A and B are shown apart, each in its own frame.
Chain A
Amino acid sequence: MGTTIIGVTYNGGVVLGADSRTSTGMYIANRASDKITQLTDNVYVCRSGSAADSQIISDYVRYYLHQHTIQLGQPATVKVAANLVRLISYNNKNMLETGLIVGGWDKYEGGKIYGIPLGGTIIEQPFAIGGSGSSYLYGFFDQAWKEGMTKDEAEQLVVKAVSLAIARDGASGGVVRTVIINEEGVTRNFYTGDKLPLWHEELEPHNSLLDILNASVPEPMST
């Protein structure tokens, strides 16, 4: 499950983003997968690496958090959710191959992002990137990330970043999904190829070559 996953905090919550490509070898088994999975009403996780491993960890953590929420009497915190993910990843490190980004909002700490790479390290970060496509985004985020963004700025940044990674990573593709979590609740969004910007050497899509050949006015050139 080569992927691009991103989690970003902003002043009021978090924005999680991911591509939608799942591949078996060079074949795209699912071109519209959902890699942002719910753990509780206020905490979601971005999954990368082995689809099976990441799904089973999410399922276990969702199960434990459900019980924890009943016992606690109030919504679980993002920190607890992230640490449950860490426990499973760390204690089974020899058998698992999955990198996860846990993100959510709770009333104590607000929006938080925790990166949990292979091996089960837990690291709280203002933003986190993961998956095979993230290699292409380190430089981008070094330059583009800033503290105290608005909700829209943060979402735009995530969509732009996933779209840049999709342009270069063969293992990432499809649509860009985002999940915004804040005090008000959760919003899911879905951005298809035509709504994403075009990058270097990418061209405006057409229905057919015949439309181009039959066009009365020649189109502007582009590389």
Chain B
Amino acid sequence: MNLVDSTQVNSTLLSSETASSERTLYPYVTGTSVIGIKYKDGILMAADMGASYGSTLRYKSVERLKPVGKHSLLGASGEISDFQEILRYLDELILYDNMWDDGNSLGPKEVHNYLTRVMYNRRNKFNPLWNSLILGGIKNGQKYLGMVSMIGVHFEDNHVATGFGNHLARPILRDEWNENLSFEDGVKLLEKCMRVLLYRDRSAVNKIQIAKITEEGFTTYPPYALKTFWNFSAFENPTVGAEGSW
């Protein structure tokens, strides 16, 4: 039985299924790093709410962490329009899953696999969805946290990040993550990473969203800003004695 039956629409402006093949060359509106960690009760994820248009910080209230079904949480960086398209695909996936009405529901492992296939197949057609995705969830007590890149590279781990998070956050997580993080400790750890990203990632915006997924379900916390520290004496007069330097 053809489970996902996509009826072909005639080539119109609404679909990109035209005779000529297209390829995505570069992204336009992009989100920056997402960080995810496993903790005692499930998965915690953090991302800022910024979407840049080149070097302009154009949109500052974009939600980049979204629930998928009952058991999963998706965070995305990269092109926002592609992320929105992925949310549509997932919507359809969950809909069909619910239509079975068999008491079973797709868990994070299955959703991660679906996303991997989608991303890899698009990559093979030279028309990638320009995103790095983090998929986390918990089902029947089993925690799962994985990542998929725009070319279909995928893996799972206890802590994952996209973009700059890989370079700035993961080293902190490798040092300080442990199996039994409480919610409070998990949040503080994520905030430590997000603060470093604020200091050192040009496309970071100071408005952060934290979301978690536990056996009970998905919770997203209201957006907030982090305090940053600038009062080092070296910052106040950096060029004393070395005029012309930076």
- Chain A contact residues, CB within 8 Å of chain B: 2, 20-23, 26-28, 30-35, 37-38, 51, 55, 58-59, 62, 132, 136, 167-171, 173-175, 188, 190, 192-194, 200-210, 212-213, 223
Q: Give 12 A-B pairs besides A62-B243, A201-B60, A209-B187 with Cβ atoms closer than 8 angstroms.
A: A27-B164, A27-B202, A32-B232, A32-B234, A34-B237, A34-B239, A58-B244, A173-B202, A200-B60, A201-B61, A203-B207, A205-B225
Select the residue from B191, B225, B230, B237 with max chain A CB neighbours within 10 A: B230
> A-facing mask of B207-246, CB < 8 A → 1, else 0?
1101000000000011111111011101111110001111
- Whether the Cβ atoms of B244 and A212 lie closer than 8 Å is no
Closest to B228 in A: A193
Partner of A202, one of B187, B201, B207, B244: B207
- Whether the Cβ atoms of A206 and B164 lie closer than 8 Å is no
> A-facing mask of B50-85, CB < 8 A → 1, else 0?
001001111011000000000000000000000000
Decide yes or no: A210 and B184 within 8 Å by CB, A26-B201, A169-B56 being known contacts.
yes
- Whether the Cβ atoms of A26 and B203 lie closer than 8 Å is yes
Decide yes or no: A209 and B210 within 8 Å by CB, A171-B202, A202-B225 being known contacts.
yes
Select the residue from B164, B223, B246 with max chain A CB neighbours within 10 A: B246
- Whether the Cβ atoms of A194 and B55 lie closer than 8 Å is no
- Whether the Cβ atoms of B206 and A2 lie closer than 8 Å is no
Decide yes or no: A168 and B57 within 8 Å by CB, A34-B239, A59-B244 being known contacts.
yes
Closest to B230 in A: A192
- Whether the Cβ atoms of A170 and B203 lie closer than 8 Å is yes
Question: Can you report 11 residue pairs joining A to B where beta carbons are below 8 Å apart?
Answer: A27-B200, A31-B200, A37-B244, A170-B56, A170-B57, A188-B237, A193-B230, A202-B207, A203-B223, A205-B226, A213-B221
Select the residue from A30, A192, A212 with max chain B CB neighbours within 10 A: A192
- Chain B contact residues, CB within 8 Å of chain A: 52, 55-58, 60-61, 164, 184, 187-188, 191, 199-203, 206-208, 210, 221-228, 230-232, 234-239, 243-246
Chain A residues lying within 8 Å of B184, measured Cβ to Cβ, are 210
Decide yes or no: A23 and B230 within 8 Å by CB, A170-B56, A203-B225 being known contacts.
no
Decide yes or no: A169 and B55 within 8 Å by CB, A188-B237, A203-B207, A208-B188 being known contacts.
yes
- Whether the Cβ atoms of B227 and A205 lie closer than 8 Å is yes
Decide yes or no: A206 and B224 within 8 Å by CB, A27-B200, A62-B243 being known contacts.
yes
- Whether the Cβ atoms of A55 and B245 lie closer than 8 Å is yes
- Whether the Cβ atoms of A210 and B203 lie closer than 8 Å is no
Please give me the 3 A-B residue pairs with the lowest Cβ-Cβ distance, nearest first. A32-B235, A192-B230, A201-B60
User: What is the minimal beta-carbon distance from A63 to any residue of chain B, in angstroms?
Assistant: 10
- Whether the Cβ atoms of A37 and B243 lie closer than 8 Å is yes
A15 and B55 CA atoms in complex are apart in Å by 27
Decide yes or no: A202 and B221 within 8 Å by CB, A62-B244, A192-B231 being known contacts.
no
A58 and B244 CA atoms in complex are apart in Å by 7
A103 and B229 CA atoms in complex are apart in Å by 30
A38 and B210 CA atoms in complex are apart in Å by 44
- Whether the Cβ atoms of B244 and A28 lie closer than 8 Å is no
- Whether the Cβ atoms of A202 and B227 lie closer than 8 Å is no
A33 and B200 CA atoms in complex are apart in Å by 13
A169 and B225 CA atoms in complex are apart in Å by 18
- Whether the Cβ atoms of A202 and B206 lie closer than 8 Å is yes
Decide yes or no: A132 and B226 within 8 Å by CB, A188-B237, A190-B236 being known contacts.
no
Decide yes or no: A2 and B200 within 8 Å by CB, A37-B243, A55-B246, A192-B230 being known contacts.
no
A223 and B244 CA atoms in complex are apart in Å by 41
A171 and B203 CA atoms in complex are apart in Å by 8
Select the residue from B199, B202, B203, B223 with max chain A CB neighbours within 10 A: B202
Chain B residues lying within 8 Å of A174, measured Cβ to Cβ, are 230
Decide yes or no: A171 and B227 within 8 Å by CB, A26-B203, A37-B243 being known contacts.
no
A210 and B184 CA atoms in complex are apart in Å by 7
